[in-house]
Amino acid sequence: MPEMMRAVVIARYAGALEMRRCPVPRPGPGEVLVHVHASGLCSTDLHLLSGRQPLGELPRIIGHELAGEVVGLGDGVTHWQPGDRVTAAIDVTCGQCRHCRTGETQRCPTMRRIGFEIDGGHADYVTVPAANLVSVPAEISDAAAAILPDAIACMYHSLINQGKVGIGQRVLILGVGGLGIHGVQIARSAGADVLATSRRPERLALAEHYGAVPIDTSRQSLETEAASFTEGEGVDLVVDNIGTRASVRQGLSVLRPGGNCWSSATSTRPSRFPPCASSRASWRSSAAAAARSRI
């Protein structure tokens, strides 16, 4: 095992990502050491670099989408062996509080996150709690496995666990970047009819390729297209991957009575619901909530 490794760190906010030589971490009790084979660069990393989301003590090794191979075991780890291919759930929680015991681990009061408050996967090696590991089968590549805990699990949780999407439902996905394009595929595989928005033709073409009806919001009216798509009824579910006040307002405006709006976007500004949207949300019994990724 080498003593030193390469790592990408944030040393100061509003600066640049830095490549540094850092000591290889040693796994503590209940932890494993993972040799990182793939680490996804997420747009959230740019928010971290800007300081919009504080990381605590700097410098910090970022990277919350990782896959690799177990190469070391801390005391008490018995269910993993060197050579196992793994990815890792992002949230490190206590496992003992009320929220953890009821499956709402994203609400754990002591939660820390890999690549945020804990050093992450933009490095040759990373230590991860054994409880966070997920086995990766041979048919899934390291690159594909790395994005499972974030871009895919977040959309799966929003659409399937929370949204209960199924056959014949009408789903609107606002924004088809890294999250949204997986949302299109998940919703379509569950049998839903899908609308997808963007202002970028290449993203709309990809969404259409995966079975969505594309809406170019730079030149098309979302309200008009949604009304036509649903014969005036409104959509069953909105998943907002944009997270602006305008997108929240737009999403609420096209919901059917009893529809739901879920936000999977990163936003540091509070959303403000205009009087018309607030009354419509109440009238339609809409539920706006944040869906965090869980595996």
The catalytic residue among 37, 44, 93, 105 is 44
Q: List Cβ neighbours of 157 (8 Å cut-off, separation of 6 or more).
A: 291, 292, 293, 294
Q: Which two tokens stand for residue 228?
A: 């036509």
> Closest Cα to residue 196, out of 216, 167, 219, 178?
216
For CA atoms 130, 133, 135, 141, give the dihedral sign. negative
87 assigned to active site: no
82-93 exposure pattern, b = at least 16 Cβ within 10 A, e = fewer:
eebbbbbbbbbb
47 assigned to active site: yes
The catalytic residue among 47, 99, 244, 266 is 47
102-129 exposure pattern, b = at least 16 Cβ within 10 A, e = fewer:
eeebbebeebebbbbebbbbbbbbbbbb
Residue the block writes with tokens 């932890």: 31
Q: List Cβ neighbours of 139 (8 Å cut-off, separation of 6 or more).
A: none
Catalytic residues: 44, 47
